[in-house]
Structure 1
Amino acid sequence: MSGLIPKPASFEARAGEFVLDADTEITASDAAASVARRLQADLAAATGFALPVGGGVPTRAGIALEIDPDSPAEGFRLEVAPGGVRIAGGSAAGLFYGAMAFRQQLGPDAFRRAALPGRRWRAEASVTVDAPRFAWRGFLLDVARSFRPKHEVLRLIDLLALHRVNVLQLHLTDDQGWRMQIHRYPRLTEVGAWRPESQLGHGPKSTLDGRPAGGFYTHDELREIVAYAAERHIEVVPEIETPGHVRAALAAYPELGVTGGPRDVWTRYGINDDVLNTEESTVEFFRNVLDEVMEVFPSRYIGVGGDEARKTQWAADPRSQQLMAERGLETPNELQAWFVRQLDAHLTAAGRRLYGWDEVLEGPLDPGATIASWRGIRGAQVAAARGHDVVLCPDDFAYLDYPQSDAAAEPIPVGTVQTIRDVYDYEPLPADAAEALRRHLLGVQANAWSEHMDTASRVDYMVFPRLAAFAEVAWSAPGKDWPDFSSRLDGQLAIYDAIGVAYRPLSGPNPWQQRPGVPGVPRDKADRQAELAALTADLLE
């Protein structure tokens, strides 16, 4: 049986094996050439073989890639036989996933960056036919709280590609930092990208670490990230937070806020009261920001946040109340919805789609917006009933910064426990799911918020191997078999070892992965679900 993760739709073992050696060649049709070159580069690095790429029909046992218009767009058929390997995909993306499956069948060493001596490269004869369940298989990386330099993002993209993830949402701005260069407003990174220190731990016993932190990406660095991801068939979706989580922007341009006066980049985590004012000049400021974002990111979707925006400043501010009256708005929720609609109209006029958290449903919203439902399933149900496309990323399943067990050794436990099995067992579309949700559900997304992930190894520890379980939810056909998944997981861990992923062992954290003495705030899952239900109770279909 195939040991692949994510589990393929169909796998048939056959007799014999294919041996890859120094004489192996890769052939590809013109439409498949880019994927063939990607496969050549990856396998040549691992094996030390040249693996030349050409057109036409292989003259000996080799690897052939071609587009099959009869296959699903992201689907593939991988045939491994003693006489050669054939990979056919419904598109370049499908071919890429078929090539990835072939690398997995060659074994963990196929993912190394240099050849090791004495390796025999073989894959058992088989036929694998596969296609994804969901079109949106996303992962959010928060680079605002803890900045991750470009080379770490590129490495993560390779790991996402291994798991057939096809969307990377970059959370670029928040209270703790602004990470994208904006030429028109240089202080956003000159001031907003840096803070003097960061919160250490969580809750009332947390302290400050006294260590300066910051960083940002230039336009060219982000273009490089986008191009690198595109070669691996991953769309990068940028997110610029509004109208809350904006302390870094207010530190750079205080006139954007409600109360005025100087602000610093926030060194604490959580939610504060600072929000943008809703003057026309502030709306224009963010239209201009989004114009530069769209210049760099070709993605169809542009994130504008909308989550956890407290309305206390608007409620207490005479000028905000005046603006509400002039616009015929009665509540602060309607004021947020007005602000979001201005950005939505701007993005729509540019041929893009607004992507926002489910709080943007708390007021009227144009139907073209796409909703990320993080506060349980209620936001997804309401959004779908109103005609919005939906991505499910509920925090009781998809938040990979939450602790992986309730053991005392887990580092900085914040949120509810999400074991690898909790992630694996999640079913986005249960039998009683409404038809509107089935029609509008684009897919699922795992989120990694980085308050307590300040190094690449911390990201590795929190994300892997839970991302393997997420991959089966996002890609594989419904129907869970935990013993089967567990039996395949050892092979995935071996691939992680070959790549050098500092994942969490299944038995618990290694001593050097623990953070003794750094406080956290664990939550009871039932209590959290009740809290989220209360927060979304006012959302009406």
Structure 2
Amino acid sequence: MRKARRGAAAAAALVALCAALLPGQSASAADAGPPPEVLPALREWHGTAGEFTLTDRARIAVDARDGRTESDARRFGGTELTGHHPVTRGRARAGDVVLRQDPSLKGELGAEGYRISVGDRLTVTAATSTGVFYGTRTVLQLLNDDGRAARGSATDVPAYRERGVGVCACYIHVSLPWFERLMKDMASQKLNQLWIEGKVKSDVDPKTAFWGYYTKAEARQLAAVAAKYHIELIPEINSPGHMDPYLENHPELQLKDKDGTPSAPRLDISKPEALAYYTSLVDEAVKAWGAKQWHMGADEYMIGSAYPNYPQLQAEATKRFGDKASPDDLFADFINQVDTHVKAGGRTLRIWNDGLAGKNTVVPLDRDITVEHWTGGGSIEKPSALLAEGRPVMNSAYSLYLVRGGFTMNTQKLYDSDWTPLRFEDETLTGRPANLTGAKISLWPDSAAAETENEVEAKTFMPLRFLAQATWGGPKPAATYAGFETLARTLGHAPDWANTDRTPVADGTYRLTAPGAKSLAPAAGSGVALVRGSTAAWTATATTDGYYTLKSAESGQCLDATRGKRYLGAPLEVGAELSAGTCSATARTQRWQLEPAGNGHGHGVVIRNAISQLAVGERETDGAAVQSLTGQAFGPQALGTVS
């Protein structure tokens, strides 16, 4: 299989798992061996003597009317398991892996649970295609070592229905390959929800189409990948706060204080056209993403300020709802109107919790809105109060945050303290209400230039596995965090996780020649020009996180992206001229990835900035090197080494 995993991982897991019998496990089952080493840990396991061995002759026998199960089975047998195992609908024989779908089991297994039976054949049974899929994720781990699995049976049903990851691609652009790797890894851990705050390139409002966006085709591509891995994708456009990517060119919609000073991030909800503008963006984005749920954020509307600074909000609240109304009532009404709008399209709404202070005494917030509780304190309503009102509540606690250049969740502390979704920032629930939906980790780009995508991916590895374990709800897989991490890293990534060669050329000096005998060369004022016939050469040095620095052999300076408009520290202006500056090991904007040219670029390589995700291109007017959407192909076939 993918890698051997004897020794330390097995020893660490045995210490923890042999300490006690699982619920429903007999002494004779324990004598047959400990539960298998999988993540998240199986909720229940009954071991028997002997082993199942996957051979080259094994087939994937499908017993399901759902074509989705058969599609998953083809990928499972063709690219995920070692070797190629054909799919058959014929009668299973000894040595086969059997995937069965039995809708009558939904009352017992729900929409995501499954059974595994390991004997002469290995059988996964579930009520739905998703349950079968999750069973195959466990099978991949069972057979990860050498194609052998201990005989026995398991019934595995998640404790929480929402097991999520959130990625704020707000302002910045997070690459599609990064998202695809994330979703493959999520699926391997049975995580089922991905929230993306990302901007779709708008035809409704072309003024918002500056870089950071996803085209509608890219949004559909991400949605298709999510569906492929049984992940629900939930998009967001934040409102009425944090709207500067949309309101930057709409001063007429920006909230202005009592002195007339506009606040670019805030939508003026006292204006009727504010709702019309926001819902027009929602309708366009929802169609592109194909989502069944919509997240509107609704957080930090008054961060750094207060309602009295904006008297028009109080005036409009009084006009609409009477003398007892407050701006909080106007805020709640705006959310309710968005809720009504998305429900009309057959969707449900989600918001963050921090705008809920209980001061909306005239206009109650619709109770079908899911509240994601991330922070507490002060007058903010506690999770128990929201749950008591019958609202769906998700634990999105700040302790589960990973911030570029800032706070990163302490996974070891959470694991050692036996954290569960019952533990919020300011309250730990004593019981588990049915309307507590689950939990998610959240990735934020507050200092976007502080870490590259590859660095974020690396530091997300253990949080993903911890969150999966905590929300699936099985027994603790190791007594210590060290044992848990050893097991997680031994099991590794999903089997088809694209750990591609991110440094395709050896360290050395290269002439970056473009078609037409042009090459990069530093120009006056530390600019970088594309110079015809230049002999400029660049020394490529791989970085530890899978990129390159490019140092000019002429000037000794490194290629950088420091000019143009920045958001959260990321240089995101298309057409901004590149620069060359003093080489710095810590400057992430000096890190570049080399990609094979294609998709109309010609042959050679495209050089893409690790932070902006924009490529090195040529400005038409003067040939200067700039940040570009499409990029310039360098080299007729590959980078040419300087002899």
Q: What is the TM-score normalised by the length of structure 1?
A: 0.75
Residue correspondence of structure 1 range 350-365 to structure 2 within 5 A: 350-362=345-357, 363=360, 364-365=364-365
Give the letter aligned to residue 381 of structure 1. Answer: S
Asked if residue 395 in structure 1 is aligned to residue 398 in structure 2, the reply is: yes
State the alpha-carbon separation in 1 of the partners of residues 204 and 341 from structure 2.
18
Matched with 2:429 is 433
Task: Name the SS of the counterpart of 2:95 in structure 1.
Answer: coil
The equivalent position to 1:285 in structure 2, one of 266, 277, 280, is 277
Residue correspondence of structure 1 range 320-359 to structure 2 within 5 A: 320-328=313-321, 330-359=325-354
Matched with 1:495 is 491
TM superposition shift of 1:291: 1.4
Asked if residue 420 in structure 1 is aligned to residue 423 in structure 2, the reply is: no
Asked if residue 308 in structure 1 is aligned to residue 308 in structure 2, the reply is: no
Asked if residue 231 in structure 1 is aligned to residue 228 in structure 2, the reply is: yes
Give the letter aligned to residue 183 of structure 1. Answer: D
State the alpha-carbon separation in 1 of the partners of residues 154 and 434 from structure 2.
28
Checking the alignment, whether the CA contact within 8 Å between 1:77 and 1:88 is kept in structure 2 is yes
Residue correspondence of structure 1 range 47-58 to structure 2 within 5 A: 49-58=83-92
Checking the alignment, whether the CA contact within 8 Å between 1:4 and 1:488 is kept in structure 2 is no
Give the letter aligned to residue 130 of structure 2. Answer: A
Matched with 1:144 is 170
Could you list the runs of 5+ residues in structure 1 that have no partner in the other structure? 109-119, 173-178, 195-214, 265-271, 403-411, 503-510, 519-541
Residue correspondence of structure 1 range 194-213 to structure 2 within 5 A: 194=211
State the alpha-carbon separation in 2 of the partners of residues 421 and 327 from structure 1.
49
| Bigger CA radius of gyration | 2
Residue correspondence of structure 1 range 374-523 to structure 2 within 5 A: 374-376=374-376, 379-396=382-399, 398-401=400-403, 412=405, 414-415=406-407, 418-423=410-415, 425-429=418-422, 433=429, 438-452=433-447, 454-477=451-474, 480=476, 482-483=478-479, 486-496=482-492, 499=497, 512=544
Matched with 2:200 is 180
Residue correspondence of structure 1 range 211-222 to structure 2 within 5 A: 215-222=212-219
Matched with 2:10 is none
Checking the alignment, whether the CA contact within 8 Å between 1:429 and 1:438 is kept in structure 2 is no
Checking the alignment, whether the CA contact within 8 Å between 2:317 and 2:330 is kept in structure 1 is yes
TM superposition shift of 1:517: 7.0
Decide whether aligned partners of structure 1 residues 39 and 417 sit closer, same or farther in structure 2, where only a CA change above 3 A counts: same
Decide whether aligned partners of structure 1 residues 313 and 252 sit closer, same or farther in structure 2, where only a CA change above 3 A counts: farther
The equivalent position to 2:74 in structure 1, one of 35, 40, 58, is 40
Task: Name the SS of the counterpart of 1:275 in structure 2.
Answer: strand
Checking the alignment, whether the CA contact within 8 Å between 1:138 and 1:168 is kept in structure 2 is yes
Decide whether aligned partners of structure 1 residues 421 and 37 sit closer, same or farther in structure 2, where only a CA change above 3 A counts: farther
Checking the alignment, whether the CA contact within 8 Å between 2:76 and 2:136 is kept in structure 1 is no
The 4+ residue runs of structure 1 with deviation greater than 4 A are: 479-482, 497-502, 515-518
State the alpha-carbon separation in 1 of the partners of residues 461 and 372 from structure 2.
23
Root-mean-square deviation (Å): 3.2
State the alpha-carbon separation in 1 of the partners of residues 460 and 397 from structure 2.
16
Give the letter aligned to residue 217 of structure 1. Answer: Y
Matched with 1:170 is 196
Residue correspondence of structure 1 range 81-160 to structure 2 within 5 A: 81=119, 83-107=120-144, 121-160=147-186
State the alpha-carbon separation in 2 of the partners of residues 383 and 75 from structure 1.
28
The equivalent position to 1:11 in structure 2, one of 45, 49, 61, is 45
Task: Flag the structure with higher helix content.
Answer: 1
Checking the alignment, whether the CA contact within 8 Å between 1:373 and 1:391 is kept in structure 2 is yes
Checking the alignment, whether the CA contact within 8 Å between 2:41 and 2:477 is kept in structure 1 is no
TM superposition shift of 1:346: 1.0
Matched with 1:199 is none
User: For residues 113-159 of structure 1, what are the alpha-carbon distances to aligned partners after superposition, in whole Å with 9 as ceiling and x for unaligned?
Assistant: xxxxxxx5333333222110001111101111432122221111111
Checking the alignment, whether the CA contact within 8 Å between 1:274 and 1:313 is kept in structure 2 is no
State the alpha-carbon separation in 2 of the partners of residues 163 and 77 from structure 1.
16
Task: Name the SS of the counterpart of 2:316 in structure 1.
Answer: helix
Q: Which 10-residue stretch deviates more, 54-63 or 162-171?
A: 54-63
Decide whether aligned partners of structure 1 residues 46 and 316 sit closer, same or farther in structure 2, where only a CA change above 3 A counts: closer
Decide whether aligned partners of structure 1 residues 386 and 48 sit closer, same or farther in structure 2, where only a CA change above 3 A counts: closer
Decide whether aligned partners of structure 1 residues 501 and 392 sit closer, same or farther in structure 2, where only a CA change above 3 A counts: farther
Asked if residue 63 in structure 1 is aligned to residue 97 in structure 2, the reply is: yes
Checking the alignment, whether the CA contact within 8 Å between 2:374 and 2:396 is kept in structure 1 is yes
Give the letter aligned to residue 403 of structure 2. Answer: D
TM superposition shift of 1:255: 2.2
Q: Which 10-residue stretch deviates more, 309-318 or 98-107?
A: 309-318
Task: Name the SS of the counterpart of 2:398 in structure 1.
Answer: coil
Checking the alignment, whether the CA contact within 8 Å between 2:314 and 2:326 is kept in structure 1 is no
TM superposition shift of 1:252: 3.3
Checking the alignment, whether the CA contact within 8 Å between 2:251 and 2:264 is kept in structure 1 is no
Give the letter aligned to residue 107 of structure 1. Answer: N
Q: Which 10-residue stretch deviates more, 322-331 or 439-448?
A: 322-331
Give the letter aligned to residue 22 of structure 1. Answer: D
Q: Give the aligned length.
A: 448
Decide whether aligned partners of structure 1 residues 32 and 87 sit closer, same or farther in structure 2, where only a CA change above 3 A counts: farther
State the alpha-carbon separation in 1 of the partners of residues 409 and 43 from structure 2.
30
Task: Name the SS of the counterpart of 1:255 in structure 2.
Answer: helix
Checking the alignment, whether the CA contact within 8 Å between 2:161 and 2:438 is kept in structure 1 is yes
Residue correspondence of structure 1 range 250-289 to structure 2 within 5 A: 250-259=247-256, 274-278=265-269, 279-289=271-281
Checking the alignment, whether the CA contact within 8 Å between 1:273 and 1:310 is kept in structure 2 is no
Matched with 2:606 is none
State the alpha-carbon separation in 1 of the partners of residues 498 and 282 from structure 2.
37
Decide whether aligned partners of structure 1 residues 476 and 313 sit closer, same or farther in structure 2, where only a CA change above 3 A counts: closer
TM superposition shift of 1:103: 0.3
Q: Looking at both structures, which has the greater relative contact order when contacts are Cα pairs under 8 Å and sequence separation is at least 6?
A: 1
TM superposition shift of 1:67: 1.4
Decide whether aligned partners of structure 1 residues 343 and 284 sit closer, same or farther in structure 2, where only a CA change above 3 A counts: same
Task: Flag the structure with higher strand content.
Answer: 2
Matched with 2:30 is none
TM superposition shift of 1:289: 1.4
Checking the alignment, whether the CA contact within 8 Å between 1:392 and 1:445 is kept in structure 2 is yes
User: For residues 200-219 of structure 1, what are the alpha-carbon distances to aligned partners after superposition, in whole Å with 9 as ceiling and x for unaligned?
Assistant: xxxxxxxxxxxxxxx32122
State the alpha-carbon separation in 2 of the partners of residues 487 and 253 from structure 1.
54
Task: Name the SS of the counterpart of 1:383 in structure 2.
Answer: helix
Matched with 2:59 is 25
State the alpha-carbon separation in 1 of the partners of residues 481 and 150 from structure 2.
20
State the alpha-carbon separation in 1 of the partners of residues 140 and 390 from structure 2.
40
Decide whether aligned partners of structure 1 residues 417 and 303 sit closer, same or farther in structure 2, where only a CA change above 3 A counts: closer
State the alpha-carbon separation in 2 of the partners of residues 62 and 452 from structure 1.
50
Give the letter aligned to residue 18 of structure 1. Answer: F
